[in-house]
Each structure stands twice: as C-alpha cells, then as structure tokens.
Structure 1
Amino acid sequence: MAASIVQVAELAGVSIATASRVISNANYKVNFKTREKVLAAAAQLNYTPNALARGMKTQHSNMLGIIVGDNSDPYYAEIVRGVEDVANENGYLTIVCNTDRQPAKELNYLKTLRDFRASGIIFAGGGLTEPGYPEKLAEKVEELTGEGTAVITLSQHTLNVPTVQPDNFEGARQMVRKLVELGHHKIAFVTGPSNLIVANVRLQGYMAGLVEAGLSLQPNLLWPGDFSMSGGQKAVQALNYLPPQQRPTAIFAANDETAFGVMVGLRRLGWQVPQNISVCGFGDLPVAQAIGPALTTVRIGLRELGQAGARKALSLLKNETVETVEISPVRVVERDSTATLAQTQSL
C-alpha cells in the first residue's frame, strides 16, 4: 500500500498541515530543519505526491539529492557536509539517500527524487557494476537530465555525466611507492566491495605500484574486504594461516574504515602497529589523525570534494558550461601507523 501524507507527518513528527506544505512547496514559511525532516521521511516511505507530479512536470524544487552507499560511513558524512555548505549558501535543501550499495534501492531513490522534482542529484559514491544495472541506471538518468535535472558524480562511475572525482588510481599507486620507500616488499591489500568501481580502481593502483617497484602480485596477500571496520578485522585473520616467511610487513587497506578495523584485528592477534607491522588507509577521515597510532593514509579532501560537486551541479542548473571531467589531486599523509622495515620486528 502506498504511503500517505499522514504517515509522512507521523514519521517526521510534524502536523499533517506542515507536511503538506513542505510536500506541495506551498508559499508558507517552514523551518529549514523541519522541511528537511519531512523530505527525509517522505523519501524513506517512498511517498509519491502524484497530484503534484502531474501538475508540475516542468518545474523543479530547490532540492539537491545526495546518493550515498552507506550513510554510517564517515567518508560520506564529510562529502555531505561539503554539499550542504554550498547548497545552503544558495538556498537549496539537501536530502541524503542511503542505498546500502543496492541497485534496487538506488533506482527507488531516483524515482522519489524525480517525483519531488529535485533540481540536482549527486552520486557521492562509485558506480555499481551488477550485470545489466549500468544500462538500466543510464536510462533512468537520461530521463532525469532530459527534464532539466542536473546529475553529477563524485567518483568513478558508469554514468556519462559531468564528474568531479579524486584520483583513486594515483593515490593507491603513491601509497605503494611510499611503503616501498620505507623498505616494505611484502604488502598486503584489503580490497573494497567487488561490485564497486572505485574499489577496483584502487586495487588497480595498488597493482600498478607493485609493478613500478618491480614486485610481483602475491595472491595470498590480496585479502577481501567491504569498506567496513568489521571487514578489516576479518581480513587480518589471514595472518593466522600464513607461515612467518610469507607474512606481510605492511597492510594497505582500500579505505580508512577498513584500516581502523585492521588495527583492531591486529591488536586482538597480539600484533602492535607499527612495531610489528605497518598499516595505512585511503581517504583521510577526520578521525584518522585522532586514533592511536595516527593513521598513514591518502588524503582526498572529502568536504572540498562535496563543495566542488555542489558548485558544478548549480552551474549546470544555470546552463553554464562546465568541465565534463575534473580530477582532484590526492596525496599521501604519513603518520604514526607506518615505520621503516628496519624498525619493524615481524612476528
């Protein structure tokens, strides 16, 4: 059964009249926070304002939708902050849509945002690669852009739309180079989700770094992960099954969340970082320099990435010419979680 405006109001904790005013874009002053709560509730319930959609086909609301893969991941929180910085300055509301990296949920949110005539949609994460899905997504996005909706991506994606993206390949390559400079030749890599383009791009950068250093890829040092702390903890269990001479002296995690999990898992196994093994990540979340030991990582500049994406979306809405592809530079930030091989006492 389709959700009603009454259910939207109840979930948002507001009156039916207030919910209706927000949904209908009526000319009433509604508190900014209240408006955000109503829109978030409507998206969660997949509420479709059919009459509104029929009557205002060619108009757009001052709303920017942000598609994220996991709203519990601090990576996305920083990007969202950046988008909101620019959106708020320009009178736009933002609504965050958490897909859990599931194609069906992503399509459902696109439908909801289209029903609400969002002015722009920002894909904050990388593209999903399940068979047949890129084509299906491209078709839906083409409908949106044909109606004047600004669509951009903030990472490597299957969509052929304007993009601002960090240099994930180069960042991973640079990190391997740094570890090699520290003397490490046995470098394990904890991957990201296999259906996510950005995870595969970072893996490619890792492999390119090995080739550049004259090192061969060792399958027993390629450990599956999923961009989560729990995935990082699980990955290091591989150490239990490797003979001492095959164990890595450094672990490179495909994102910071995974790296945090790797360090927790190592402590539980009795390994000290970096005394017994070096650990590094990718992203440079704010907490990366606050944990102990502070994490060596690849800095993206996530809030700045969100700001750049929002500015590009607003430029498209003004019919301004924008660069189709913008690559934002990344750099390795060396902190306390890595040490030279000479300083490492492997277990």
Structure 2
Amino acid sequence: MAVTLADVARRAGVSLATASRVLNGSARAVSDEMRARVTAAARELHYVPNAHAQALARAATQTVGVIVHDVSDPYFAEILRGIQRSAADAGRLMIVCNTFRDPQRELEYVHLLQKQRVEAIILAGSGLDDRAYCRSMTERLDSFASMGGRVAVIGRHNIAADAVVPDNVGGARALAHYLLDLGHRSFGIIDGPALLTTSRDRRSGFVQALQAGGITLPPDAIIPGDFTRDGGAQAAIRLLERFPSITAIFALNDVMAIGALAALRERGITVPDQMSIVGFDDIPIAADVTPALTTMRVPMSQLGSEALALALSAEDTLRTIHLPTEMIVRQSTAPPSAT
C-alpha cells in the first residue's frame, strides 16, 4: 500500500498539519527540529508527495469557514460577531455554514469547505456524543489537515483539535447552588438536544449540585427541549402538568427560558412570585424581557475570537482554552412563595 502523509506524521510524531507544511510547501513556518523529523520520516518510509495535495496547500485562500448549528440562535450570532471582528483584523474572509442541527450536513460542509481551499475551519456548534459521527468527522478533518488546513472547535468535542471551552458544568452547578440558597427544593429542567455535549454538561452540573444539596430530581422532571423558544414553552407546560408544585425551572439556554416565561404568563403564573426561572448564555435580550432573566453569562464573542486565534496560529501542539462563566442575577428569581 502507498505510504500516506498520515504515516509520515505518525512516524515523525507530529500533527498532520505540520507534516503537510513541510512536505506540501506551505508558507507557514516550521521549526528546524520539526522539519528534520518530518523529512527523515518521509525518507525512511519512501514517501512520494501527492502533487494535487501540494497544489491545494499552496493555493489555500485567506478564508475561514465557520460551521454553526443555527445562525438564527442569538448564541451563535454573538460567537460569529467575535469571529468576524477578529477575522477582519487578520485580513481574513469568513464563510458561514448553517447545519440546522443536522450532523450529516455538518460533515458535508467540512468537505465543501476543503474543496473551497479555506485556510481554517471552526466548528462553532456543540460536539456530539455519537461514535459514528465522531469517527466520520475525524476522518474529514484529518483529510483537511493533511492538505495544510487548521481546525479549531468551540465547546467540548470528542475529536482532537484546538478548542475553546466555556465552563458549562461549573456554571450550571453555580445556578443550582444559587436556587438552593434561595430556599427552592422542587425543580424542573428544560433539557437541550440529547446528543449535544453542551446539553449533557449543563444538565449534569445542575443535577450534581442538587444531589450535593440532598435533592434527588425525578427523571421525568427533565423535559427534552430543542434550544428553541417554542420548545421551551412546550417543555414548561409539560413540567407544570407533571409537577404542579415545582418552584424553580432551569432552562439549558436563554432562548428556551424566554419561551418558558411566555408559557407561564399565558397560564397566569407569575414570575418570580410563583415560579423562578433561570437560563444560560446571557444573550442580549435576556436583560430586556419581563421579568429580566437570571442566567449564566457565557463570553460568546470571546469564544469566537479565541477560536479564530487558535485556527490561525502556527503552533503545532493541541491547545484547549477554558473560559469562565459568570452568574447574572436579575428579576426572574426569588425565594419560593410561602403559598
């Protein structure tokens, strides 16, 4: 079988991107030590460079591809704003791909962006806890890296790439402790899409904190949601039908929390007198709804700018940047009513 660039990278102990820079003629700088290891490995394995791959590597455009789950979601709009500002400063053009939360479409976009010879790809949507998807995505990204491309991800992904990760677990844990300190003891959760790592991290952080406080949440007090306003409204109604006595609801993102606020208002349930609601992200409108939403602030714009910096970096080792979250207390929370 023909020796591949991945074989050379493995023998040299470097990333595919580094091996590609050395052997495919990329203009990016590589240390003398790295260059010597790659060329020695190529010589030992009798590697013959792929002329087509070399041409693509040299012809890479100053363009960055960004793949998001839903461009209409304010969370992704803020991330894109951060990437756009940094891209303009770096003299890069940005291409935005919207997957509509379809994993197969996400895989197809990686292939299409590679064909467009983009310089880097940023996966801005949450990772998926799905082995088949992760295997397919790893293969696509390895192919992209073998031609000199760079990859960065936002959130926890089960793939090897530079990453910027917000503290979803710690933020959800802090929200639970805050509600417990207010005196709440009966809770409901409006969950996110099941396979998203963001959903799992925020849910688990909240549940762990409740357990530490001596509260066991019934499984059916966790209602599946889809990170949309209507999904949040429907989930809130289902929670009330199952557990009329709950006093606090945690929605895994602000958009669903705002939908829950609307559903409660239509049912004549006042917030926060009869029900406290908390969200996550602190999207711009969270401060303007009535009542203003208590939430956990994620530095969304910074997530985008940090991800672009990683994607454009010439660093050879994989890096993960952890960004803290910040609790923002507003008018949607209060101690539970005595009645």
TM-score (norm 1): 0.79
**Structure 2 matches for 1:10-89, cutoff 5 A?**
56-58=55-57, 59-89=59-89
Q: Which residue of 2 aligns with 1:238?
A: 238
Q: Which residue of 2 aligns with 1:199?
A: 199
Q: Distance in 2 between matches of 1:322 and 1:330?
A: 26
1:260 to 258, 265, 290: 258
Deviation at 1:112, TM superposition (A): 1.1
Q: Distance in 2 between matches of 1:255 and 1:139?
A: 31
Q: Is the 8 A contact 1:256 1:288 kept in 2?
A: yes
Q: Distance in 2 between matches of 1:251 and 1:176?
A: 10
Q: Is the 8 A contact 2:129 2:196 kept in 1?
A: yes
Q: Distance in 1 between matches of 2:271 and 2:110?
A: 43
Q: Distance in 1 between matches of 2:101 and 2:239?
A: 29
Q: Distance in 2 between matches of 1:320 and 1:240?
A: 51
Q: Distance in 1 between matches of 2:116 and 2:243?
A: 58
Q: Which amino acid aligns with 1:339?
A: A
1:295 to 293, 296, 301: 293
Using the TM superposition, name which of 206-215 and 255-264 deviates more.
Answer: 206-215
Q: Distance in 2 between matches of 1:308 and 1:112?
A: 24
Q: Which amino acid aligns with 2:292?
A: A
What secondary structure, in the 3-state scheme, does the structure 2 residue paired with 1:227 have?
coil
Q: Distance in 2 between matches of 1:223 and 1:345?
A: 26
Q: Distance in 2 between matches of 1:240 and 1:104?
A: 35
What secondary structure, in the 3-state scheme, does the structure 2 residue paired with 1:95 have?
strand
Cα distance, 1:103–1:292 mapped onto 2, change above 3 Å: same
Q: Is the 8 A contact 2:53 2:147 kept in 1?
A: no
Q: Is the 8 A contact 1:123 1:153 kept in 2?
A: yes
What secondary structure, in the 3-state scheme, does the structure 2 residue paired with 1:61 have?
coil
Deviation at 1:320, TM superposition (A): 2.8
Q: Is the 8 A contact 1:232 1:261 kept in 2?
A: yes
1:4-49 Cα offsets, whole Å, 9 max, x none, are xxxxxxxxxxxxxxxxxxxxxxxxxxxxxxxxxxxxxxxxxxxxxx
Q: Distance in 2 between matches of 1:152 and 1:194?
A: 23
1:97-140 Cα offsets, whole Å, 9 max, x none, are 10112122111111110011111111111112345111011111
Q: Does 1:120 align with 2:120?
A: yes
1:31-86 Cα offsets, whole Å, 9 max, x none, are xxxxxxxxxxxxxxxxxxxxxx8894223111111110011101000000000111
Using the TM superposition, name which of 218-227 and 161-170 deviates more.
Answer: 218-227
Q: Is the 8 A contact 1:101 1:128 kept in 2?
A: no
Q: Is the 8 A contact 1:277 1:345 kept in 2?
A: no
Q: Which residue of 1 aligns with 2:333?
A: 338
Q: Which residue of 2 aligns with 1:280?
A: 278
Q: Which amino acid aligns with 1:298?
A: M
Q: Is the 8 A contact 2:161 2:318 kept in 1?
A: no
Using the TM superposition, name which of 252-261 and 203-212 deviates more.
Answer: 203-212
Q: Which residue of 2 aligns with 1:320?
A: 315
Q: Does 1:98 align with 2:98?
A: yes
Cα distance, 1:127–1:243 mapped onto 2, change above 3 Å: closer
Q: Is the 8 A contact 1:68 1:99 kept in 2?
A: yes
Q: Distance in 2 between matches of 1:157 and 1:131?
A: 11
Q: Distance in 2 between matches of 1:321 and 1:104?
A: 29
In the comparison of the two structures, how many residue pairs are matched?
A: 287
Q: Does 1:135 align with 2:130?
A: no
Q: Which residue of 2 aligns with 1:270?
A: 268
Deviation at 1:157, TM superposition (A): 0.8
Q: Distance in 2 between matches of 1:256 and 1:109?
A: 27
What secondary structure, in the 3-state scheme, does the structure 1 residue paired with 2:250 have?
strand
Cα distance, 1:174–1:240 mapped onto 2, change above 3 Å: closer
Q: Which residue of 1 aligns with 2:34?
A: none
Q: Distance in 1 between matches of 2:171 and 2:178?
A: 11
Uncovered stretches (5+) of structure 2, i.e. residues with no partner: 1-51
Q: Distance in 2 between matches of 1:270 and 1:131?
A: 44
Q: Which amino acid aligns with 1:218?
A: P
Q: Does 1:146 align with 2:146?
A: yes
Q: Distance in 2 between matches of 1:183 and 1:219?
A: 22
What secondary structure, in the 3-state scheme, does the structure 2 residue paired with 1:308 have?
helix
Q: Which amino acid aligns with 1:91?
A: G
Deviation at 1:335, TM superposition (A): 0.5
Deviation at 1:305, TM superposition (A): 1.2
1:251-293 Cα offsets, whole Å, 9 max, x none, are 0000011101110111111111111100010000011111111
Q: Distance in 1 between matches of 2:183 and 2:123?
A: 38
Moved beyond 4 Å, runs of 4+ = none
Q: Does 1:225 align with 2:220?
A: no
Deviation at 1:321, TM superposition (A): 5.3
Uncovered stretches (5+) of structure 1, i.e. residues with no partner: 1-52
Q: Cα RMSD over matched residues?
A: 1.7
Q: Does 1:175 align with 2:170?
A: no
Deviation at 1:242, TM superposition (A): 3.2
Percent identity between the aligned chains? 37
What secondary structure, in the 3-state scheme, does the structure 2 residue paired with 1:295 have?
coil
TM-score (norm 2): 0.81
